[in-house]
Amino acid sequence: MMSPAQIPNLITVIRIVLVVPTGWLLWHGAYGQALVLMAVASASDALDGWLARHFNWTSRFGAAMDPVADKLLIGTLFVVFWIQGHIPTWLAAVVIARDAVILLGAGSYRLLFERIDFAPTFVSKANTAMQIVMLLLLLLEVCDFGLLSRIAGVLVDPYCFWILALLGVSSGLDYVLTWGLRAWRNVYARPR
């Protein structure tokens, strides 16, 4: 029997499972259904975070897998939208390069020094939130809901694109500087 403390982890796993149908629907142009799944995934992300914090149902699994679930969903949608020509190459490159640098840096730090505590910074949380908002607005735009889609389109390009690029670069630099400084301290803290 599952304990209530495992509910946030279950929600995270469900969010990971939603990546495949959401990406498949988007790939096949079923934008309305992809929008519904993306909205469900986004709401479940907020819910599992709230449950974990409010009831102290935190776990190492949840701390590690919650950002993985976000990155899988966001990354899948970004790549499909880029292939379809809805997202410019420069923005897709910023988003993917940021995540690649963070993953490589985290892996290197773990390999060379110590375990990593999964604690996203404020700017990183803002970046992820903006990615989700932009993707939801882009889905609204391609759904062709008349005026609502036109408004979403005006917000997406150029505003969301540029805000997301700025947040992506700043949060990437924030991680590089923060973890680079920790690595530097570890190197100089070792006995010679």
Range of the structural domain that residue 90 is part of: 4-189
Q: Quick one: pLDDT at residue 192? A: 62
Q: Quick one: pLDDT at residue 166? A: 97
Total domains in the fold of the chain:
1
H helix or E strand, kind and range, residue 82: helix 60-83
What percentage of the chain's residues is helix, strand, coil (to nearest 5)?
A: 85, 0, 15
d(CA 117, CA 182): 12
Q: What percent of the chain has pLDDT over 90?
A: 64
* List of the chain residues with pLDDT < 50: none
Task: Return the CATH number at 71.
Answer: 1.20.120.1760
Q: Quick one: pLDDT at residue 19? A: 96
Model pTM? 0.88
